[in-house]
Structure 1
Amino acid sequence: MMMKKTVLTGLIMCGMVIGASAQAPAQSLGKNDPKAKVVLDGVSKRFKSLKTVIANFILKVEGANNSVNDTKKGSVYVKGPKYKVIMDGQEIISDNKTSWTYAKDVNEVTISNVDQSNSSMTPAKIFTNFYDNDFLYRLNGETTEKGKVLQNIELTPTDKSKNFFKVLVDVDKKNQTLARMKVFEKNGNRYTYEITNFTPNGAVKDDLFTFDAKKYPGVEVVDLR
């Protein structure tokens, strides 16, 4: 149960709580690369121009010393600051005021108020300008995979107390969207999020971003508000 919650939270937090070698040093990149900023700003501008986003993803979990090797599939729906993430019997929903975290295996939902501080990370921020205040970044070049040109960017957190020390981001150069993100934790874990399908301006109803307990018979409610 704890592992599942950590993995799902990791997606929402853009790897802020998850990622490779415990012996690897948390070195700073020194200063930001203007070429990388152009790429990241392009992703942010593209996302902000969209009314909604629907994306499917694959999460690959690699534990330190090969202790864990797992793959999970999921989907994320975003409409402005509202979002819903679905993955392996788990859901995280937010209407930007209230958040619901549902675990199917125990039929339990936890309700809390949304943290409105600038430090909080949401799917919307993952696709926009989360990088400017929290990271140093540089462009490491380009690679080609399955006919797509990917721009490879390395980010390191400015706050060295974080439990991760590096994030690698691959951007689809043509479509200006995130293709893959790999997070490296100090404890040796690595988490790779790969976007397998990205649908801009898909049909998303507002009621998707609230939790309807009537649809979950017998659900146990833990209200932390």
Structure 2
Amino acid sequence: MIKKYILFIALFAVGITSYGQNSDKAKALLDEVYNKVKSYDNIYIDFKSTIENTEADLKQETNGNVTLSGEKYLLDYFGAQQLFDGKKVYTIVPENEEVTIEDVNEDDDNVSPSKMLTFYKTGHNYAWDILQTVGGRKIQYVKLTPIDSNTEIKTVLLGIDAQTKHIYKLIQTGNNGTKTTITVNTFKTNQPLSSTLFTFNAKKYEDKGYYITTN
């Protein structure tokens, strides 16, 4: 099953008043990113993903890509494909010759592609974080901390290109110590898309002998 990712230190010493200002500034930047991205008809992102857990001696690296249009998306990740047509999620695993069809789980803690630019709007505290220079680009980080202490996510860092206002990096740290880092390699907008890109064709996979299950 593909994880629906995808994929920040508060300055406490500055004081409560200044923290509030930093929080407002951080959310204002995220809103600017959101409004910029919402102006596009669609987005194509090629990315690198790294999952690490030192205690579990785990490190996995892979490349992937995702095409988004509104809430719909098509994600290629870890040798599998995930399609969301606006109503259901279809996970296609060629290695197992299997397709799983699921309803959307609104309570899922993970950051899905369609949530990547909106999940921050509720349930988080915000903090202005470090500014880095990467290949001549200024990357401003914003730290999000879930208000709900029962969530599996400890923090999320979003690195934002200060000039383009596009997300460059997402770093999600779980309470179990697992860190998922998603780095954007390519960011394209308003690409010509097939009218059937976000349509699941059951017959195509039935003809291939795939096992299709509905949860």
Pick the TM interval, shorter chain.
0.7 to 0.9
Distance in 2 between residues matched to 1:70 and 1:223, nearest whole Å: 29
1:17 matched to which residue of 2? none
Preserved CA contact (<8 Å) 2:83 2:198: yes
2:113 matched to which residue of 1? 123
Distance in 1 between residues matched to 2:32 and 2:161, nearest whole Å: 11
2:124 matched to which residue of 1? 135
Preserved CA contact (<8 Å) 1:79 1:204: no
After TM superposition, give the deviation of residue 44 of structure 1 in Å: 0.3
After TM superposition, give the deviation of residue 88 of structure 1 in Å: 2.9
SS in 2 for 1:179: strand
After TM superposition, give the deviation of residue 121 of structure 1 in Å: 5.4
TM-score normalised according to structure 2 size: 0.85
1:55 matched to which residue of 2? 45
- Relative to structure 1, is the Cα distance of residues 116 and 192 closer, same or farther in structure 2, using a 3 angstrom cutoff? closer
2:182 matched to which residue of 1? 193
Gaps of 5+ in 1: 15-29
Matched, 1:182 2:171: yes
After TM superposition, give the deviation of residue 119 of structure 1 in Å: 8.3
Preserved CA contact (<8 Å) 1:78 1:123: yes
Aligned residue-pair number: 201
Preserved CA contact (<8 Å) 2:85 2:198: yes
Which is higher, the Rg of structure 1 or of structure 2?
A: 2
The one-letter code sitting in structure 1 at the alignment partner of 2:131 is E
After TM superposition, give the deviation of residue 150 of structure 1 in Å: 0.4
Please list, as runs of the form range in 1=range in 2, the aligned pairs for 1:32-181 lying within 5 A after superposition: 33-65=23-55, 67-115=57-105, 122-127=112-117, 129-181=118-170
Higher relative contact order (Cα pairs below 8 Å, separated by 6+ residues): 1
After TM superposition, give the deviation of residue 120 of structure 1 in Å: 8.8
TM-score normalised according to structure 1 size: 0.82
- Relative to structure 1, is the Cα distance of residues 218 and 51 closer, same or farther in structure 2, using a 3 angstrom cutoff? same
Preserved CA contact (<8 Å) 1:93 1:209: yes
Please list, as runs of the form range in 1=range in 2, the aligned pairs for 1:6-21 lying within 5 A after superposition: 8-12=2-6
SS in 2 for 1:96: coil
SS in 1 for 2:122: helix
Gaps of 5+ in 2: 8-18
Distance in 2 between residues matched to 1:171 and 1:202, nearest whole Å: 22
